[in-house]
Structure 1
Amino acid sequence: MQFLPQVFIGKIQSTQSCGQSAIYKREADGLLSLGQMGLEGDEQAEKRFHGGPDRALCHYPREHYALWLNAYPEQEELFIPPAFGENISTEGMTEESVFIGDIFAWGDARIQVTQPRSPCYKLNGLTGIENFAQVMQETGRCGWLYRVIKAGSVSASTPLKLLSRNSDISVQEAIMIAFHAPYDEELYRRLLSAAGLSASWSLTMQNRLDNRCIEEFSHRLFGKRG
C-alpha cells in the first residue's frame, strides 16, 4: 500500500510556551532534499533529545487528531497537523500497522522506522494542558521516528511505500513495552532484538536490564526530576 504524506518543516525560534524550539512547522510544497539528518530546511533545538541520525524524521498519524479534539474540544483550533511538530502526516498508517525496522520508499529516498516518539514536557506548554505529554504516552498515540538509510528527493506528491518488514514488533508494542508494562526482562530482550531499533532505545532497554529497574519518566514528561 501507498500513503500520500503532508510534509512539514520548521526553523528554531523563541516561543512563549516551549522556549527555543522548532516545533512550529509549516507545510512544504515541491521537491525537498532528504539527508541523513532530515529534511532540507528543518531544524531541531534540543539535539540531545530530538533529531540526529536515528530521529531524522517524525511521523504522526493524522487520524489521531480526532481523538484529541474529542478529549479537548476547547482546543479545536490547535489539533490539526502539524500541531506536534511532525514532519510527516498521513492517514492509514498507525502505531498498530507500522513496525520497528520497516523500510519505506519515499521518492528516491529510503527511510526506516527506529522507535516510537517519546512525548516530552514541551507538549504541555504547546497545548496548555499540564499533563498532555503523560496523556499522550498513556494512550499510546505517540507517532514514530525514522532514520534515513538512503538520501534523496522527496515531496508531498510522492507516496510512502512499504518495501520490507524486518521485525514482528509494531510501534504499538514497543510503546507498551517501554511505557506501559511493568518491569519485564523478556519484553526488553524482545524489543532489543528488533532490527532497526534506535541506539537510544537500545541503550534504554539495556540499562533496564543492567539496573533491574525502569527509569524515571517525570523529567521528560514534566520538565522536572521526581
Structure 2
Amino acid sequence: MKVVSVNIGDKKTIDYKGKKVVTGIFKFPIKQPIFLGKEDVVNDAVIDRRYHGGVDKAVYAYSENHYEYWKQLYPNLDWRFGMFGENLTISNLDETTICVGDTYKVGEVIIEVTKPRQPCFKLGLVFGTQNILKQFWNSTKSGIYFKVNQTGSVLVNDELVLIKKVENSPTIAEVYESKKIY
C-alpha cells in the first residue's frame, strides 16, 4: 500500500435545504506533506468534533482502488482525490483484510486502525445527491479511520508498512457491516 494523494480541506459554508451548513468535507490534494497530529491533520478543517477528528478518528484514509467503482456510478462528477473527505488516498487499502488494531508506519508516522467511516449527509453534498449514502452503506468501501500513535509528516509515495498485525480482531468490513443503518 502506498499514499497516492494527501488531502486537506477548508471550512466551507453551503446552502442545504434552505439552511446554512458548515463543513470540511470538501478536501483537495496538495503537493506538500501533511502533518498528522494526535487528534487531526494540521491545516485541515474539522468542523463537528462529535463525529470527526479526535484520538480515534485523527486521520481518514480511502482506497484509490474504490474510485473506479464510484466513477462508474457518477461519471459526470469532476473527479479528484479527496472526494470522500479523506486525508490520505492509499493504493490497495482493503477493508476486508485490514483489522481493527493493525498498526502501520507511514512516513514519519505510526498509525493504528480504529474504525470504518459512517457517512452522513455531507457526503451527499459532494456527490450532489443523498443517494450516495445508501450506496456507500451497501458496499464494503467505507474507508478507514486511524489514530496517530506517533505524530509526523506523510507525503505522496510513502509506503504503509505493517508493523503489528492484531490476531482475532474484526476486519473493518466486518465492523462496518455490523453498523449498517439501511
TM-score (norm: length of structure 1): 0.72
Query: Take 1:39 and 1:157, find their aligned partners in 2: how far apart are those partners?
Result: 18
Query: Take 1:5 and 1:133, find their aligned partners in 2: how far apart are those partners?
Result: 25
> Residue type matched to 1:170 in 2?
T
Query: Take 2:36 and 2:72, find their aligned partners in 1: how far apart are those partners?
Result: 35
**Farther off after superposition, 160-169 or 114-123:** 160-169
Query: Take 2:142 and 2:4, find their aligned partners in 1: how far apart are those partners?
Result: 17
Partner of residue 68, structure 1: 70
8 Å contact kept, 2:28–2:83: no
8 Å contact kept, 1:5–1:160: no
Gapped regions of structure 2 (runs ≥ 5): none
8 Å contact kept, 2:3–2:155: no
RMSD: 1.9
8 Å contact kept, 2:7–2:27: yes
Say yes or no: does 1:174 pair with 2:175.
yes
Structure number with the higher strand fraction is 2
> Residue type matched to 1:122 in 2?
K
Matches within 5 A, 1:1-226: 2-16=1-15, 19-73=21-75, 75-78=76-79, 80-167=80-167, 168-179=169-180, 217=181
Structure number with the higher helix fraction is 1
8 Å contact kept, 2:6–2:34: no
Query: Take 1:126 and 1:16, find their aligned partners in 2: how far apart are those partners?
Result: 13
> Residue type matched to 1:43 in 2?
A
* Per-residue deviation, residues 69-119 of structure 1 (Å, max 9, x unmatched): 22233x3424x3111110011221111222111111012211111000001
> Residue type matched to 1:8 in 2?
N
Gapped regions of structure 1 (runs ≥ 5): 180-216, 219-226
* Per-residue deviation, residues 135-184 of structure 1 (Å, max 9, x unmatched): 101112111101001112222242221111114311111112222xxxxx
Note the C-alpha offset of 1:42: 1.0
State which structure, 1 or 2, has the greater radius of gyration over its C-alpha atoms. Answer: 1
